[in-house]
Amino acid sequence: MSETNPFLQDAGVEVPLICGAMYPCSNPELVAAASEAGALGIIQPMSIVFAHGLDFKKGLRRIRALTDQPVGFNAIIEKTVALYERQMRSWIDAALEEGVRFFVTALGNPKWVVRLVEQVGGIVYHDVTERRWAQKALDAGVRGLICVNNRAGGHAGPHSPERLLDDLGDLGAPLVCAGGVGDPARFAEMLALGYSGVQAGTRFIATTECTAHPDYKRAIVDARPEQIALTNKLSGVDCSIIVTPTIERIGLRAGAIAGRLLRYERTKRLMRSAYALLSMWRLKRANAQGSSFKDVFQAGKSVEGVRGVKSVAEVVGEYAAALQAG
C-alpha cells in the first residue's frame, strides 16, 4: 500500500492513521504508543509543557525512549497570545533537532513553518475546513491537507467528510480525513472513499496509554453523538464538547457582551487570548482531576464508535486489520 499511498510515504508509517494532537490529552506515552504501533503519533507542545508539566526537550526525549518510529509535531500558528510565535519557533527548532520531519499546522498561515521544515527535508500538512483555506495552505507550500469535518473533536468544520472530499479532491494533494472516525469500519470506509489517511483524536483518549482521568474516558465511552455540541465558551471559537451537567448549567454560548467583544476587530485578539488561557487551565484540570474538578470534556461525534477503553496497539491493530479485510 505504501507505494501507492502518498500519506504513508510522507509520514514513513505503516498504517494510514494519525493519533491527532490533543491539548491537554497528548501525553508523551500516548504519542509514543501510537507511533510504536505503526500509526503516527503527533506531539502537541503545549500539552507536554503546560498540561503535563515537562520541559519540552525532556518530553521529546521521553517519547524517543519509548519509540524509534516516526512521530509528528503540531504547530498551532494563530497569533493570539503575545510572544507565542517565538515560543513555537523554539519548539519547532527543538523538534527538528530531535529528528521530527512531519508537521501538522493549524489556524493561520503555515508559510514560515514550511520554510523552516523544508530546509531539512521535512513535510507539512495543514488543517483545513474548506476550500479557500486549502488553496491558501497549498499556495504557502504545504504538501498535504488534514480535512477537518463537522464530526471532529476540537475545532470542527462546517462540512461532512464526503463534501470535503468532493470540494478538495481536484487539488492534487493527499487528503487526510479528520473527524468522526471512532471504529475500524468507519476507518476503512473513509479510505475506500478516497482519503489517503485518517486523523483520529477522541478514540485515542479512551486508551490505556492516555493519562486522561478515568471520568473523561468513561464520559467518551458512555456518550452518544447527540450529546456532542459546539461551544464557544471554552476558547472563544467553536469546539466540540460532551454535554454534561456542568455544560448544561453554564450553557454553550458566550454571553451577549463577550460575544460582541469576540467579534469586534479591536477587542477580538485580546478576548481570544484571555479565553485561550482560561480554557487551557480549565481543560488541564478536568483532564487530570475528572469530575471532581468539573465535567468539562472535549470530544467529537466519533464517540459513537468508541465502546471501551483499549490499548493503543489494539486500536491501531484493529484499524489495520479492517483495511486488510476490505
Ligand X SMILES: Cc1cc2nc3c(=O)[nH]c(=O)nc-3n(C[C@H](O)[C@H](O)[C@H](O)COP(=O)(O)O)c2cc1C
Report the interface residues with ligand X, using CB under 6 A: 20-23, 25, 44, 74, 76, 106, 127, 148, 151-154, 178-181, 199-203, 298-300, 302
30/32 Cα distance (integer angstroms): 5
CB of 51 to ligand X, least distance (A): 10
The one-letter amino acid code at 162 reads E
**Residue 70 CA: distances (Å) to CA of 85, 99, 189, 196:** 25, 9, 25, 18
Provide the minimum distance between the beta carbon of 216 and ligand X in the complex, in angstroms, as a whole number. Answer: 9
What does the alpha-carbon distance between residue 196 and residue 233 come to, in Å, rounded to a whole number?
34
d(CA 24, CA 280): 8
Smallest distance, Å, CB 146 to ligand X?
7
- Report the distance separating Cα 302 and Cα 157, nearest Å: 14
| Between 72 and 122, CB nearer to ligand X | 72
DSSP letter assigned to residue 298: B
Q: Report which of 82, 76, 66 is spatially closest to residue 27, judged by C-alpha positions.
A: 66
**Identity of the residue, 129 or 138, whose beta carbon is nearer to ligand X in the bound complex:** 129
The CB-of-97 to ligand X minimum distance in angstroms stands at 22
- Residue closer to ligand X by CB (options 122, 179) is 179
Smallest gap from residue 247 Cβ to ligand X (A): 14
Residue number with CB closer to ligand X (231 or 261): 231
CB-based closest residue to ligand X? 201
Nearer to ligand X, 16 or 154 (CB): 154
